[in-house]
Amino acid sequence: MPHIPDDVLASQLDGKAPDFWMLASHSCTVHARSFDDAPLVEWVAIKVKKKPYLPYLNALNPRTLQLEIAAKQIFELKIHRRVWTSRAVLPTQHRNVTVTLNDDQRRIFSFWISHAYNRIAMPDALVERLKAEIGRDGMQGIAMLVDEFLKRNNHMLASAWVSFNPKWEIQESTEPYEVLFRFLTKRECARHATELHAELTEMLGVSRPVSEGLFFGGAEVTVLQDFTMLDAEDFVRYNQHDWLSIGEGDEAPAED
């Protein structure tokens, strides 16, 4: 796009124009009647890859998102690869009508870009207890197992959710947090919910005290439509990188 200065490309995009630009601004901004009310629009750079990297799907990573557009056509977006231009350039640009996002992909993209600003910080004490490599019962840390489950099955899931109580830092190591997980299948993968739940239970076990400071309230895989507004009051979207020290060095392997 000729409206992006060369120095911006050099500093933010390694000097190379991306494969595509995605217009990220809200439609109210794009169509605002007064130019002065919304003089700028935002663009996100897209790199096309051939293979998906499962931890980057479904907005689990707040810094990198992948969207499966078609076979061997994976859109990869990075939260820092964004630029602003004058809204006046829009009439000079031509929309690509052959490559579009479906409703689910637009929903995932909207959540991902907003989540960069409203991520929920988990209490440090809870993070440490969840990531412990060996619990009292000899099992690997709950969060490590959850991340492994997601790496295996993220392509069949619409979203992942976590509930934890209390919401604040606990100083006393013997005072427990209670944590629960919910995983929702995509509508087209609903038939796999039972087998996914069985796999999850085999990995994590059932509701139980893990240590003096952690009570695991259980984990469940259900179909998307079974998650209610009441559930949403207690659960928040699970994001692997909301855990301060989990997922470090989680980079996609280089493509051949």
Give me the pLDDT at residue 95, please. 87
Whole-model pTM over 0.75: no
Give me the pLDDT at residue 1, please. 62
Task: Identify the H or E element spanning 229.
Answer: helix 229-234
Give me the pLDDT at residue 154, please. 85
Question: Checking DSSP bridges between strand 64-70 and strand 73-78, what pairing results, if any?
Answer: antiparallel
Q: What is the pLDDT along the chain (256 residues), one digit of tens a residue?
A: 667 777 777 777 777 888 999 999 999 999 999 999 999 999 999 999 999 988 888 787 888 999 999 989 999 999 999 999 899 999 888 888 888 899 889 989 998 998 777 777 778 888 888 887 654 554 568 888 888 898 889 889 988 899 999 988 988 888 999 999 999 998 899 999 999 999 999 988 888 888 888 899 999 999 988 888 888 888 888 875 554 434 445 566 666 5
Each domain of the chain, given as residue ranges in start order, spans 6-118, 124-242
Phi, psi of 67 (to 5 degrees): -125, 125
Give me the pLDDT at residue 241, please. 52
Determine the Cα–Cα distance for residues 217 and 208; give it in Å rounded to an integer.
Answer: 7
Class of the 6-118 domain?
A: mainly beta
- Residue where the block lists tokens 């209670």: 178
CB 35 within 8 A of CB 111: no
Determine the Cα–Cα distance for residues 117 and 122; give it in Å rounded to an integer.
Answer: 15
To 10 degrees, the CA torsion angle through 226, 116, 204, 156? 50
Give me the pLDDT at residue 244, please. 40
Give me the pLDDT at residue 179, please. 93
Give me the pLDDT at residue 134, please. 58
